Amino acid sequence: MTESERRNVELRCAFCGKRNRLDMTRAADRPRCGECEKPFLLDRPVKVASEDLQTVVAGADVPVLVDFYADWCGPCKVMAPVLDELAAERIGSVLVAKLDTDRSCSACTGRAARLTLRRACRRRPRQPGLP
């Protein structure tokens, strides 16, 4: 498998905290944690902690869309079903992550957010007629 065909992501298990390298080409098969064997549900946004964000984004072979949300935020609530749908529709080709900004404030600003955008832009195929 060449580098361009590889589609791995590294995510921390929500149950046991173990980091797992997951093959996104098999994301729909609900890959299991190597430690506790609980499934990763990649057909919906995956919660990512602030301290893991950079590792997740930099280590992903697929574009990562991060929703910086807050439970009390109206527009976030409006967007949530859209992101759920996107994650289900693009399973295996995009990792949809979400970060609770009330719990992880350091990641909502600056470097992590810019890194996320830059990576997403670099991975996006060029469309005819657009610069």
Indicate which residues carry an active-site annotation: 73, 76
Residue 29 touching Zn ion (CB under 5 A):
no
What does DSSP assign to residue 13?
-
Amino acid found at 109: T
Residue 35 touching Zn ion (CB under 5 A):
yes
For Zn ion, the closer of residues 56 and 108 by Cβ is 56
CA 30, 54, 42 angle in degrees (round to 5)? 15
Residue 33 touching Zn ion (CB under 5 A):
yes
**Least Cβ distance, residue 13 to Zn ion (angstroms):** 3
Among 9, 13, 24, 107, binds Zn ion (CB under 5 A): 13
What Rg, from alpha-carbon coordinates, does the chain have? 15
CA 102, 94, 51 angle in degrees (round to 5)? 35
Amino acid found at 48: V
Residue 15 touching Zn ion (CB under 5 A):
yes
Which residues of this protein are in contact with Zn ion, per CB under 5 A? 13, 15-16, 18, 33, 35-36
